[in-house]
């Protein structure tokens, strides 16, 4: 085992584990999705709940680390997926336990007074469509550029790259080997744009233009813009790589694209983090319908609602549309993941 494998496994797992450490406290009136009095997270009652959850998180992250490391070392992608899945399930169970333990300290945060604007239009501005579709434009432009220079491509093209940017798998030049990466890009972009469209058309809007919900939605759309454009820039960069011939040494452009897209994604988290603290109004999602990070309320016509655990929006799992949409999104996600780790 070399130090690079160790480093990759660490950088994949550590940020998620750190995020999970803080996630239950990120949206201030809530503690593991339960509405609690101000300052509860620092109280003596909260400490054992937090301690149990956080130590569970560390133990499960170590288990995942071991499985991912083994999977990377012996080229067993299923082990990597198993590690990630076991960690995700364990986190769900730990969060549910903490939520149950926090219920006795609950205070009512959801109001029975509901206000709504009579504005006819959806909360859509032109830039929101740009957010949803800009990643396709980036990918399309890159694919078009490759198509225009198809004859300049080498006979054998790289189809997979290691983390250092060096190609580690090759195939004869063909439509599939050259444009396959753009298809994967389109699948990932489909996830991003579906999320954006769900947020625009499936989330509750605030009664007033300056309502917290509307500002929260705008902040999340900005984040999705960064994530969508960052990801499609990275994928486009990889798709353009074969045009550079057969690089067998360190390849600066790959790193430039990598760094630019990561910076874009990290920067775009800022607006959402700003809005992650106390909402000024009720989110109209009663406590009893939250199961850990998941929301499931058959009486709520909203398809997505702002998360109480963490940042962004989550699906209403009791909504009839979710029955079809969620498996479809998961299939696209797993398809892309399997391609990447293969």
Partner 1 sequence: MYSGAEPSPVISIDLNSPAPAYRQIVDQIRHLLVEDSLRPGDALPSVRRLAMDLGVHHNTVAEAYRSLAEEGWLEVTQGKPVRVLQRAQSPARNKQERAELQEGYARRLRHLVAEMKASGVSRDWISKLLRSISEE
Task: Give the interface with partner 1 as residue ranges (CB under 8 A).
Answer: 112-123, 125, 202-205, 207-209, 214, 218, 284-285, 299-303
Instruction: Bin 325: left if φ > 0, else alpha if -120 < ψ < 50, else beta.
Output: alpha
76 or 284: whose CB is closer to partner 1? 284
Q: 146 or 224: whose CB is closer to partner 1? A: 224
Q: Please state the closest distance from residue 157 (CB atom) to partner 1, in A.
A: 46
CB-CB neighbours of 144 under 10 Å = 11
Name which of 61 and 308 has its Cβ closer to partner 1.
308
- Burial track 178-191 (b if 16+ CB lie within 10 A, e otherwise): bbebbebbbbbbbb
Asked if residues 154 and 172 have their Cβ atoms less than 8 Å apart, the reply is: no
75 φ/ψ sector (left φ>0, alpha ψ -120 to 50, else beta): left
Burial class (CB in 10 A: 0-12, 13-18, 19+), 54: middle
H-only helix segments in 241-315: 252-274
Report in angstroms how near the CB of residue 199 gets to partner 1 at its nearest: 12
Least distance to partner 1 from the beta carbon of 100, Å?
Answer: 25
Q: How far is the CB of 303 from partner 1 (least distance, A)?
A: 8
Q: How far is the CB of 297 from partner 1 (least distance, A)?
A: 9
DSSP-derived pairing of the beta strands 304-306 and 313-315? antiparallel
The alpha carbon dihedral of 31, 37, 38, 41 has a sign of: negative
Nearer to partner 1, 44 or 118 (CB): 118
Contact criterion met (CB below 8 Å) for 86 and 63: yes
* Tokens describing residue 7: 């480093």
CA gap 46, 231 in Å, rounded: 38
Tokens of 111: 């109001």
Cβ closer to partner 1: 115 or 278? 115
Distance, in Å, from the CA atom of 140 to the CA atom of 21, rounded to the nearest integer, reads 39
117/166 with CB nearer partner 1: 117
**Nearest approach, Cβ of residue 217 and partner 1 (Å):** 8
* Closer by beta carbon to partner 1, 52 or else 218: 218
**Nearer residue to partner 1 within complex by CB, 122 or 152:** 122
Q: CB 186 → partner 1: shortest distance, Å?
A: 29
Smallest separation, CB 69 to partner 1 (Å): 45
Residue among 142, 174, 279 nearest 219 (CA) = 279
Whether the CB-CB separation of 78 and 30 falls below 8 Å is answered with no
For partner 1, give the closer residue by CB, 251 or 296.
296
Shortest gap between Cβ of 275 and partner 1 (angstroms)?
15
């Amino acid at each position: 085992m070399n130090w690079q494998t160790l480093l990759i496994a660490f950088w994949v797992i550590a940020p998620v584990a750190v995020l999970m450490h803080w996630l239950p406290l990120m949206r201030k009136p809530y503690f593991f999705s339960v509405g609690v009095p101000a300052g509860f997270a620092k109280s003596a009652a909260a400490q054992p709940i937090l301690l149990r959850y956080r130590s569970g998180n560390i133990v499960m992250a170590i288990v995942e680390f071991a499985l991912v490391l083994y999977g990377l070392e012996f080229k067993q992608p299923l082990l990597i997926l198993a590690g990630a899945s076991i960690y995700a399930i364990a986190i769900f169970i730990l969060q549910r336990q903490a939520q149950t333990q926090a219920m006795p300290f609950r205070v009512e945060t959801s109001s029975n007074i509901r206000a709504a604007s009579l504005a006819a239009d959806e909360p859509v501005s032109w830039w929101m469509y740009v957010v949803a579709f800009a990643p396709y434009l980036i990918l399309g432009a890159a694919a078009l550029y490759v198509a225009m220079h198809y004859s300049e491509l080498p006979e054998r093209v790289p189809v997979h790259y290691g983390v250092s940017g060096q190609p580690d798998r090759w195939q004869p030049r063909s439509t599939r080997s050259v444009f396959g990466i753009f298809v994967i890009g389109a699948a990932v972009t489909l996830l991003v744009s579906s999320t954006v469209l769900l947020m625009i058309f499936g989330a509750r809007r605030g009664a007033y233009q300056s309502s917290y919900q509307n500002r929260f939605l705008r902040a999340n759309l900005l984040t999705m813009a960064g994530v969508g454009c960052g990801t499609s820039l990275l994928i486009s960069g990889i798709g353009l790589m074969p045009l550079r011939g057969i690089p067998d040494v360190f390849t600066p452009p790959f790193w430039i694209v990598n760094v630019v897209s990561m910076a874009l994604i990290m920067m775009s988290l800022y607006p959402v983090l700003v809005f992650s603290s106390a909402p000024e109004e009720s989110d109209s999602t009663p406590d009893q319908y939250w199961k850990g990070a998941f929301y499931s309320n058959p009486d709520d016509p909203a398809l997505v609602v702002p998360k109480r655990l963490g940042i962004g929006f989550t699906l209403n799992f009791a909504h009839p549309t979710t029955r079809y949409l969620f498996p479809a999104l998961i299939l696209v996600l797993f398809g892309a993941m399997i391609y990447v780790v293969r």
